[in-house]
């Protein structure tokens, strides 16, 4: 029985559990420093109460900051973050995540606790789909292929 | 693919059984060892000259919605002829720059100051397995494909390899032909999964 239970891959298996946050009012320079120090590729942007507002990824920093001749200490995370935040339950399948990404045209999904939808537990990106191959036998294979084609 | 997946999830005994089942159900002779890097590489590689600014490199990332740009030796020519790659700049390198206090000034510096060099490359005739091994050993996700005359031919990424495996699931199984092979293969794919699991490597 354990064998069969384990054969179903969920978002919980492939998501990044290292969830680093930073306030929306702090600078993108601080965000870049945090990403570098904590070795993560995205940060969850929160308000002063800790509520999730958006996501800032390496790509946001690489493309939205360097192209405008502004000092990174003068740009806030709120200005460049991707929002609204699209969330997915940790018990969902990788194919459902891929579907959501395509539907909303985003590369990052905030993973929330299955029981408590307000509790962020991780982040999932298209790159994470390469972690497991077992679900390639699922019917969601086409969607995952598509997401790898366009988003990674 | 179960050969890869079970090596992490199931215990040794179950894993072996699954592998043998997969092996015996496989009928084609293609394997990851027999497919060359050149057959799956992307030939339209986005490049920047080593003396172009970091900002120009960022613009290339932005315009093409890509994560890396290959830096070529003293050349601004747009055609693929005579492109000698000398380094690579990824989004992570740009993040490193954004984290520095004088980033506004630094974006106008030549990109060769930021690029990662020496460049780790692969020969077009190498196999997919060799590419996977190099990526795993060097902790990288992208390998520029370069011929014997140092000319840039293309780039192969972990995503391209994953997509190939996704489309041809028999590849992993059919490459294992004996017990010894099975063990060797498993360690490579296991390591490659570990590498995927750890995510994007840190910039030194």
| Contact residues, chain B, for A32 at CB < 8 Å | 95-96, 98-99
Contact yes or no for A22/A42 (Cβ under 8 A): no
Residue B184 has a CB neighbour count (10 Å cut-off) of: 14
The answer for residues whose C-beta is within 8 angstroms of residue B126's C-beta and 6 or more apart is B36, B37
Q: What is the mean pLDDT of residues A76-89?
A: 92
Q: Is B183 on the interface with A (CB under 8 A)?
A: no
Which residue on chain A is closest to B157 by alpha carbon?
A152
Q: What is the mean pLDDT of residues B23-45?
A: 74
Q: What is the mean pLDDT of residues B13-38?
A: 53
What is the number of alpha carbons within 13 Å of residue A99 lying toward its C-beta? 10
Residue A25 has a CB neighbour count (10 Å cut-off) of: 11
Left, alpha or beta for A61 (phi > 0: left; psi -120 to 50: alpha)? alpha
Q: Is A59 on the interface with B (CB under 8 A)?
A: yes
Distance of CA A11 to the CA centre of its chain: 11
Of the candidates B163, B196, B202, the beta carbon closest to that of A145 is on B163
In angstroms, rounded to a whole number, what is the distance separating the alpha carbons of residues A70 and A65?
A: 7
Q: What does the block give as tokens for B133? A: 């091994």
**Site from B55, B94, B98, B111 to mutate, A interface, most A CB atoms within 10 angstroms:** B98
Q: Tell me the pLDDT band of A101, cut-offs 50, 70 and 90.
A: confident
| Contact residues, chain B, for A148 at CB < 8 Å | 159, 162-163, 166
Q: Is A137 on the interface with B (CB under 8 A)?
A: yes
Q: Which of A74-83, A115-124, A136-145, B98-107 has the lowest mean pLDDT?
A: A136-145
Task: Give A29-65 pLDDT, tens digit per residue.
Answer: 999 999 999 988 899 999 999 999 999 999 899 888 8
pTM of the entire structure? 0.74
């Amino acid at each position: 029985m354990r064998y069969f239970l384990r054969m179903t891959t969920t978002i919980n298996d492939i998501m990044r559990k290292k969830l680093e946050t930073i306030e929306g009012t702090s600078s993108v320079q601080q965000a870049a420093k945090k990403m570098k120090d904590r070795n993560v590729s995205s940060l969850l942007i929160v308000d002063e109460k800790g509520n999730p507002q958006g996501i800032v990824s390496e790509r946001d920093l690489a493309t939205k900051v360097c192209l405008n001749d502004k000092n990174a200490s003068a740009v806030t995370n709120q200005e460049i973050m991707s929002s609204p935040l699209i969330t997915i339950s940790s018990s969902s399948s990788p194919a459902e995540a891929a579907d959501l990404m395509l539907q909303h045209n985003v590369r990052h999904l905030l993973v929330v606790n299955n029981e408590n939808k307000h509790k962020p537990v991780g982040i999932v990106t298209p790159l994470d789909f390469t972690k497991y191959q077992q679900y390639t036998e699922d019917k969601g294979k086409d969607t995952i292929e598509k997401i790898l084609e366009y988003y990674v | 693919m179960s050969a890869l997946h079970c090596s992490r999830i199931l215990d040794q005994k179950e894993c072996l059984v699954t592998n043998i089942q997969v092996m015996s159900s496989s009928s084609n002779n293609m394997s990851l060892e027999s497919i060359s890097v050149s057959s799956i590489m992307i030939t339209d590689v986005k490049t920047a000259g080593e003396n172009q600014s970091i900002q120009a490199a960022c613009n290339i990332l932005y315009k093409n919605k890509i994560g890396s740009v290959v830096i070529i030796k003293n050349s601004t020519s747009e055609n693929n002829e005579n492109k000698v790659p000398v380094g690579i700049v990824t989004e992570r390198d740009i993040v490193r720059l954004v984290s520095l206090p004088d980033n506004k000034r630094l974006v106008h510096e030549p990109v060769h100051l930021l690029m990662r060099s020496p460049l780790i490359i692969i020969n077009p005739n190498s196999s997919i397995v060799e590419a996977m091994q190099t990526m795993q050993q060097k902790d990288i996700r992208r390998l520029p494909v370069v011929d014997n005359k140092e000319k840039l031919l293309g780039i192969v990424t972990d995503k391209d390899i994953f997509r190939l495996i996704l489309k041809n699931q028999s590849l992993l199984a059919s490459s294992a032909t004996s017990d010894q092979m099975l063990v060797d293969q498993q360690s490579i794919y296991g390591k490659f999964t570990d590498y995927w699991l750890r995510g994007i490597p840190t910039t030194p």
